[in-house]
Amino acid sequence: MTRVTYLGFPRIGRRRELKRALETYWRDGDAAPLLDTARELRARHWQLAREAGVDVVPANDFSLYDHVLDHAVLFDAIPARYRPAFAADPLRGYFAMARGDAELHALEMTKWFDTNYHYLVPELQAGQSFRLTGDKPLAEWREAQALGIEARPVLLGPVSFLRLSKTVDGSDPLQLLDALLPVYAELLAQLAAAGVAWVQIDEPCLVLDLDAPTRQAYEKAYATLAKGATPKRLLATYFGALQDNLALAASLPVDGLHVDLVRAPEQLDAVLTALPADRVLSAGVVDGRNVWRSRPAQVSALLEHATRRGSDQLWLAPSCSLLHVPIDAEQETQLAGDLRSWLAFARQKLEELRLYADALAGDAQAREQLAQQTARLEARGRAPGVQRQDVRGRLQALSPQATLRRSERPYRRSVQAGALKLPPLPTTTIGSFPQTDALRRARAEHRAGRLDTAAYESVLAEEIQHVLKQQEALGLDVLVHGEPERNDMVEYFGEQLEGFAFTRHGWVQSYGSRCVKPPLIWGDVARPAPMTVRWSSYAQSLTEKPVKGMLTGPVTVLQWSFVRDDLPRETVCRQLALALRDEVHDLERAGIQVIQIDEPALREGLPLRHAEQAHYLDWAVQCFRITAGGVADATQIHTHMCYSEFNAIIEAVSALDADVISIESSRSRMELLDAFERFRYPGDIGPGVYDIHSPRVPATTEMAGLLRKALEVLDAGQLWVNPDCGLKTRGWTEVNQALAAMVAAAHELRGELAQRAA
Ligand code: GLN
Ligand code: ZN
């Protein structure tokens, strides 16, 4: 019989129970309630999966903070600085690695492939050893057993573990493979001895472009692991096609292979041909990365082929772990119209898989339910708002001219210099100022209907007055209104655009206890009315200095939402770009001379395979340019990006044709600047001079030092002075101190430049 399974489940809980338990533990230090909550969540989620009709559940997919960190700890890959904390209390040591503590800084955190989930990067060292500590995979498997549920422990595979790690000495982490493999072998033997039938070994790096040493590492690792005592092994790949790695993956001595047939349905035939007949095929047929119900016709077409494998050799699963979707769409009772019936969160995805499996086995009722799903999805295509003539017509009429500014950059620069009269090395901030408790409270009260709109707006107006007064006192050159009216930089715009909807409990883990609630883009996107003009013009009316208008760019709105799956992402992005373009024009008409369009997520959307990157960058850049295009030469367009590796895409960043970019770089001590040794960036640029994620107030000398470093590769005429990112998470005291020091650093450098000129 075709079995239904899945690779991993959201850990956070329907109501973010894990988040609450973590925060309580961090406050009180009492581990027992945290561990109880964790155990309850695992049990509840397994039970939920069973009720949805799943045959085999994963175990050890749960984590208190991050699964990559769990593996580092399991293998004793613990950097020396954390050892004393571990010795005192392993849980304290674990969280010190995850988030730092009073003395220790945390491990580096980075995005898990192209998702918005962040993992902790294991820190390794040439020549180090590993050993097995603890028995988390086995213990969690036993928990499921005790509940009478058949489970399969999940491990991150050795090659992906090493590829996702870094070394402190710059050596290749793969060189540690020989040291690491015995630990995996021991772990597999331990599981086999306990009676575990199958393990799932995740090797998502198999969907990346791999060099020869990594391929060899795969061959060696899996040949070694096949030798000893071991449960059967399901090798799991996801987030894309195996492509040129298919032959490698299919040749590895394992017992089953999971493939992503949502992002890469076209690989099915090749997989069926390449995979030896005795292997299980786990077919990832419903989307683990998005929230819409699957299309029965598409899935059934895949399954018709896949059954060549024989039903005992075929498993059905979501494309990847369900970590990236919320748990239960049933909770979203407030959603308008039929929207909820179009949604499948984790629970609904498992139910869908059950239907597909039953339908394959000839169950008439399952077939009938899938037919109803098809009908509902067809109705969705005709629902009001899904296909708007006005939006589609405008997109069709869009000419390439729309992406162009009126003049080239050098001419614009001179016009803007005349209009704005800024000093050399102008100072500015990224947009937000501290979101104080009072502001959050007022917003919550207003939402709950306890504070009327007039009263709420006067809170905002007062805050804007305060923010402007502070900036004038600090002597900043280009001011901002501080974004006090915004809960979130995507949600704020989504709420004012048509085609968006918001869930109440649609939380997804971003890292550790931090969750995000991405909006749903379900229909064509349009802007019924201006969104930011009011507060921006109010702020401008309070000062002689230029106030920057502040928008979230189309690519970032797209990237941080759940996007409808019946249109290509690039089409949805162009709709967003047109809506935001209207906003840019309205700001300009209202007298705003400087407009910033934030694109912090531009890098995150970059496809994992090199061959697909150019096309993405093409349309992403085009969408930004549609948003900014058409303004007067005198209007200065800024953009902002942060917390990604930009060096590789600096050409695309330049192609945005923004007049000024502010970009994070202080954390890496201006590593970004290396890019400018090979590429002459033509625009103005403000490499961030201090890390806003840290409460530490940087000294003037430190920031002046970074600016001097920047001036080694940039012209004085193109350099701006600004922090790394927005200040909303900081307190006023530190912000005032840090900005005062930053302005002083700019003055110091201006003095040096004047002297040099004299
Ligand atoms: N303008 C936004 C802010 O200052 C930018 C935030 C971001 O880059 N994530 O908060
Ligand atoms: Zn930022």
**DSSP line for 376-399:** HHHHHHHSTTTS-HHHHHHHHH--
Assess whether the C-beta atom of 600 lies below 6 angstroms from ligand 1.
yes
Distance (Å, whole) CA 448 – CA 128 = 56
What is the structure's pLDDT at 455? Answer: 97
Assess whether the C-beta atom of 306 lies below 6 angstroms from ligand 1.
no
Q: pLDDT tier at 426 (50, 70, 90 boundaries)? A: very high
Q: Which residues are catalytic?
A: 693
CA of 552 to the centre of ligand 1 (A): 8
What is the structure's pLDDT at 310? Answer: 86
Give the pair of three-digit tokens for residue 666.
């202080």
Mutate to test the pocket of ligand 1, among 439, 483, 487 (most ligand atoms within 8 A of CB): 483
Give the mean pLDDT of 514-543.
97
Distance (Å, whole) CA 613 – CA 635 = 31
Closest atom of ligand 1 to 432 CA is 4
Whose tokens are 């709709």? That residue is: 575
Q: For Cα atoms 315, 320, 323, give the angle at the middle one, nearest 5 degrees.
A: 125
Give the mean pLDDT of 104-116.
89
Assess whether the C-beta atom of 642 lies below 6 angstroms from ligand 1.
yes
Q: For Cα atoms 540, 546, 548, give the angle at the middle one, nearest 5 degrees.
A: 80
Query: Which residue puts its alpha carbon closest to atom 4 of ligand 1?
Result: 726
Q: pLDDT tier at 104 (50, 70, 90 boundaries)? A: confident
What is the structure's pLDDT at 21? Answer: 98
Contacts of 99 (CB under 8 A, 6+ apart): 65, 106, 512
Q: pLDDT tier at 648 (50, 70, 90 boundaries)? A: confident
Query: Which residue puts its alpha carbon closest to atom 9 of ligand 1?
Result: 600
Distance (Å, whole) CA 80 – CA 87 = 11
What is the structure's pLDDT at 676? Answer: 84
Answer for the pair 471, 288: CB distance below 8 angstroms, yes or no: no
Residue 722 has pLDDT above 90, yes or no: yes
The strand pair at 3-4 and 314-318 is best described as: parallel
Order of strands across the sheet that contains 660-663: 548-552, 594-598, 636-641, 660-663, 684-687
The dihedral built from the CA positions of residue 322, 328, 332 and 338, taken in this order, carries a sign that is positive
CA of 601 to the centre of ligand 2 (A): 9
Assess whether the C-beta atom of 598 lies below 6 angstroms from ligand 1.
yes
What is the structure's pLDDT at 103? Answer: 81
Assess whether the C-beta atom of 726 lies below 6 angstroms from ligand 1.
yes
CA of 746 to the centre of ligand 1 (A): 22
Q: pLDDT tier at 535 (50, 70, 90 boundaries)? A: very high
Answer for the pair 677, 713: CB distance below 8 angstroms, yes or no: yes
Residue 650 CA, chain-centre distance (Å), reads: 20
CA of 430 to the centre of ligand 2 (A): 7
Assess whether the C-beta atom of 484 lies below 6 angstroms from ligand 1.
no
Residue 708 has pLDDT above 90, yes or no: yes
- Torsion angle, alpha carbons of 728, 730, 734, 737, to 10: -20
DSSP 528-549: SS-SSHHHHHHHHHT-SS-BEE
CATH 3.20.20.210 residue window(s) in the chain: 3-380, 411-494+533-558+566-757
Give the pair of three-digit tokens for residue 337.
């119209």
What is the structure's pLDDT at 498? Answer: 98
CA of 532 to the centre of ligand 1 (A): 15
What is the structure's pLDDT at 647? Answer: 84
The strand pair at 256-260 and 498-501 is best described as: unpaired
Distance (Å, whole) CA 716 – CA 140 = 59
CA of 432 to the centre of ligand 1 (A): 6
Radius of gyration of the chain (CA): 27
Distance (Å, whole) CA 518 – CA 13 = 16
Answer for the pair 231, 199: CB distance below 8 angstroms, yes or no: yes
Closest atom of ligand 1 to 486 CA is 10
Query: Which residue puts its alpha carbon closest to atom 8 of ligand 1?
Result: 600
Assess whether the C-beta atom of 482 lies below 6 angstroms from ligand 1.
no
Q: Is 1 exposed, middle or buried (0-12, 13-18, 19+ CB in 10 A)?
A: exposed
CA of 724 to the centre of ligand 2 (A): 6
Q: Residue 751 has what DSSP assignment? A: H
The kind and range of the H/E element at 596 are strand 594-598
CA of 489 to the centre of ligand 1 (A): 7
Assess whether the C-beta atom of 640 lies below 6 angstroms from ligand 1.
yes
**pLDDT tens digits, 10-52:** 999 999 999 999 999 999 999 999 999 999 999 999 999 999 9
Assess whether the C-beta atom of 532 lies below 6 angstroms from ligand 1.
no
Mutate to test the pocket of ligand 1, among 430, 552, 661, 662 (most ligand atoms within 8 A of CB): 430
Residue 132 has pLDDT above 80, yes or no: yes
Give the pair of three-digit tokens for residue 587.
């700001």
The ligand that comes nearest to the alpha carbon of residue 556 is: 1
Answer for the pair 112, 238: CB distance below 8 angstroms, yes or no: no
The ligand that comes nearest to the alpha carbon of residue 728 is: 1
Q: For Cα atoms 396, 343, 300, give the angle at the middle one, nearest 5 degrees.
A: 85
**pLDDT tens digits, 197-234:** 999 999 999 999 999 999 999 999 999 999 999 999 99
Beta-carbon count within 10 A of 512 CB: 22
Answer for the pair 500, 527: CB distance below 8 angstroms, yes or no: no
What is the structure's pLDDT at 670? Answer: 76
Average pLDDT of the chain, as a whole number: 96
Mutate to test the pocket of ligand 1, among 116, 435, 439, 489 (most ligand atoms within 8 A of CB): 489
Assess whether the C-beta atom of 136 lies below 6 angstroms from ligand 1.
no
Residue 358 has pLDDT above 90, yes or no: yes
The ligand that comes nearest to the alpha carbon of residue 467 is: 1
Distance (Å, whole) CA 745 – CA 758 = 20
Residue 515 has pLDDT above 90, yes or no: yes
Answer for the pair 198, 155: CB distance below 8 angstroms, yes or no: no
Q: Which residue in 528, 535, 561, 565 sits closest to 391, CA to CA?
A: 528
Q: Does domain 3-380 have CATH number 3.40.220.10?
A: no
Mutate to test the pocket of ligand 1, among 428, 429, 432, 661 (most ligand atoms within 8 A of CB): 432
Assess whether the C-beta atom of 434 lies below 6 angstroms from ligand 1.
no
Beta-carbon count within 10 A of 548 CB: 25
Give the pair of three-digit tokens for residue 47.
């039970």
Distance (Å, whole) CA 163 – CA 181 = 14
What is the structure's pLDDT at 447? Answer: 93
Give the mean pLDDT of 87-116.
91
Give the mean pLDDT of 285-306.
97
Assess whether the C-beta atom of 536 lies below 6 angstroms from ligand 1.
no
| Residue 232, beta-bridge partner list | 198
Query: Which residue puts its alpha carbon closest to atom 6 of ligand 1?
Result: 726
pTM of the model: 0.95
Contacts of 282 (CB under 8 A, 6+ apart): 5, 234, 236, 256, 257, 258, 259, 315, 316, 317
Give the pair of three-digit tokens for residue 672.
């970004």
Assess whether the C-beta atom of 491 lies below 6 angstroms from ligand 1.
no
List of long-range contacts for 566-569, beta carbons under 8 Å, 24+ apart? 566/380, 566/381, 566/386
Q: pLDDT tier at 675 (50, 70, 90 boundaries)? A: confident
The kind and range of the H/E element at 641 are strand 636-641
Closest atom of ligand 1 to 726 CA is 4
What is the structure's pLDDT at 749? Answer: 98
CA of 433 to the centre of ligand 1 (A): 10
Give the pair of three-digit tokens for residue 345.
């969160």
Give the pair of three-digit tokens for residue 16.
């973010």
The ligand that comes nearest to the alpha carbon of residue 692 is: 2
Assess whether the C-beta atom of 661 lies below 6 angstroms from ligand 1.
no
Give the mean pLDDT of 471-500.
97
Give the mean pLDDT of 157-182.
97
What is the structure's pLDDT at 398? Answer: 94
Beta-carbon count within 10 A of 712 CB: 10
E strands present in 409-566: 498-501, 508-511, 514-516, 520-526, 548-552, 562-563
Assess whether the C-beta atom of 432 lies below 6 angstroms from ligand 1.
yes
Ramachandran region, residue 705 (left: φ > 0; alpha: ψ -120 to 50; beta: rest): alpha
CA of 6 to the centre of ligand 1 (A): 36
Report the Cα–Cα distance between both ends of the chain, in Å, rounded.
85
The ligand that comes nearest to the alpha carbon of residue 596 is: 1
Answer for the pair 6, 49: CB distance below 8 angstroms, yes or no: yes
Answer for the pair 250, 257: CB distance below 8 angstroms, yes or no: yes
The kind and range of the H/E element at 177 are helix 177-193
Give the mean pLDDT of 732-747.
97
Contacts of 748 (CB under 8 A, 6+ apart): 700, 704
Q: Residue 478 has what DSSP assignment? A: B
Query: Which residue puts its alpha carbon closest to atom 3 of ligand 1?
Result: 726
Distance (Å, whole) CA 494 – CA 723 = 27
What is the structure's pLDDT at 82? Answer: 96
Assess whether the C-beta atom of 480 lies below 6 angstroms from ligand 1.
no
Give the domain 411-494+533-558+566-757 fold. Answer: TIM Barrel (3.20.20)
Q: Which residue in 154, 230, 236 sits closest to 185, CA to CA?
A: 230
Closest atom of ligand 1 to 429 CA is 4
What is the structure's pLDDT at 613? Answer: 97
Determine what percent of the chain is predicted with pLDDT higher than 90. Answer: 92
Residue 668 has pLDDT above 80, yes or no: no
Whose tokens are 């929230």? That residue is: 291
What is the structure's pLDDT at 102? Answer: 78
Q: Which residue in 688, 739, 738, 694 sits closest to 709, CA to CA?
A: 688
Q: pLDDT tier at 311 (50, 70, 90 boundaries)? A: confident
Q: Which residue in 665, 743, 715 sits closest to 478, CA to CA?
A: 743
Mutate to test the pocket of ligand 1, among 111, 486, 640 (most ligand atoms within 8 A of CB): 640
Give the mean pLDDT of 337-360.
96
CA of 532 to the centre of ligand 2 (A): 19
Answer for the pair 215, 236: CB distance below 8 angstroms, yes or no: no
Q: pLDDT tier at 100 (50, 70, 90 boundaries)? A: confident
